[in-house]
Structures are given as structure tokens and as C-alpha cells.
Amino acid sequence: MGFSNPSAEKEQYATPASVAADLLYRAYLHKDLESVCDLGCGTGVLAIGSALLGASAVGVEIDPVSLRTARENASLIGVDVEFIMGDVNSVSLRGIKTVVMNPPFGAQKASAGDGAFLRKAVEIANVVYSIHNLGSEGFIRRTVEPCTIEEIYRIKFPLRRCFAFHSKDVKTIEVELYRIMCRRNGTIRLE
């Protein structure tokens, strides 16, 4: 199940299954799906997918309605995911190796924007997989410093009509998936 009543202000766009599968498969091949946190988990697709692939997974989300759907989705599928209601600006987590996220792009003024998500992600994890608009590389490089961008993949993102200002049923855009590594003193940081 997706967002029952998506908020444009919070930029609640569910990650399409094809995009979630692409992100998670790459993380799986890199052996990055051990302890995973999905920041801004919405209805939980990335956290639940990580758990299905064997990770211990946590999802953090500010919106209680989405969180309820996320919990229902996890129980329908029969996976164990810890869902926490919280603001990405203030949540504190330990023991996370990997963050997977599709953060708000910051197109709407009221949303926290992807900068806050990126800063929190590199604070709590060693590896980050994150989806952004095309051409975000410079912004991301500056935001995550001293962490580094290891890979950028371009992926197709079928955006389904979910807000009144959307004029087509499906509009396919291209987005960038970033793999970011957080090294401290030249070695990979492990808690």
C-alpha cells in the first residue's frame, strides 16, 4: 500500500517498486544490507525490502499516518521492521551500517529538503544510498564532506499522478542514485 492521502508539502512520493528493487539489489551486491535505516521511510518500501533481503531494518518517518501504513505493509509481508516516528533533524540512532533513502527533494518549501537527510545519513551510517534529482552531484559532494561519492547511477523513475498539479497519469523522469561512503581517518568507520 502506498500513501493513503499524500502530502505535497512533505513531498510524499512513494518509491516505485522498480526503483526500490534497483537500489536494494545494488546494496545487496555490495553486501551493504546488514543493519539498515530508511530515513523518511513513508510507507516503508525501502525498509521492508531491506528486511526481505536479510537486513535488520529501521524506518524513521515524521508522518504518523504513513507510519501506520508502513507497519501494516510489514506485517502483511511478514517481515520484522522497527518503525520509529521522528524528525530526521533530531533522531539519534546507533549501530547502523547503511542508510537507504528517497528523501524529499526540497521542491516544496515546507519539507526538510534533501540536505538535512544527507547530513543525518552520513552522521549515523558508513554507507548511504540516496535518490536525487539529476545534476545534484556538486550539492551532494559539498553536503556530505568529508564523506565521498563512490558511485552515481542514473535510473528511470515512473512518477504516478498523485497530486492535483500533476497533468499526466505517469511521467517518467530520470533520477540519480548515489552511493556515498563515510571514511574517518582513511578507514571505513565502524561503530
- Pure H helices in the chain: 17-29, 45-52, 64-77, 113-124, 137-144
- For ligand SAH, which is the closer residue by CB, 11 or 176? 11
Q: Does 48 bind ligand SAH (CB under 6 A)?
A: no
Which grid coordinates are listed for 49? 525490502
The string of DSSP letters for 110-127 reads TS-HHHHHHHHHHHH-SE
Given the rule CB under 6 A, which of 73-81, 85-93, 132-140, 173-181 is the region that contacts ligand SAH? 85-93
**Residues 2-41 contacting ligand SAH, CB under 6 A:** 10-15, 40-41
Given the rule CB under 6 A, which of 60-68, 151-159, 162-170, 173-181 is the region that contacts ligand SAH? 60-68
Which grid coordinates are listed for 118? 544527507
For residue 131, which phi and psi values (nearest 5 degrees)? -100, 135
Tell me the C-alpha distance between 127 and 50, whole Å.
14
- For ligand SAH, which is the closer residue by CB, 77 or 188? 77
Among 32, 33, 50, 66, binds ligand SAH (CB under 6 A): 66
Given the rule CB under 6 A, which of 27-35, 55-63, 133-141, 145-153 is the region that contacts ligand SAH? 55-63
Q: Does 112 bind ligand SAH (CB under 6 A)?
A: yes
Q: Does 72 bind ligand SAH (CB under 6 A)?
A: no
Q: Does 87 bind ligand SAH (CB under 6 A)?
A: yes
Q: Does 88 bind ligand SAH (CB under 6 A)?
A: yes
Q: How far is the CB of 129 from ligand SAH (least distance, A)?
A: 11
Tell me the C-alpha distance between 184 and 103, whole Å.
24
CB count, 10 Å around CB of 146? 9
CA distances from 153 to 19, 55, 81 (A): 11, 22, 27
Q: How far is the CB of 99 from ligand SAH (least distance, A)?
A: 11
Tell me the C-alpha distance between 182 and 121, whole Å.
10
For residue 138, which phi and psi values (nearest 5 degrees)? -60, -45
Q: Residues in the site for ligand SAH, rule: CB under 6 A? A: 10-15, 40-43, 45-46, 60-63, 66, 87-89, 102, 104, 111-112
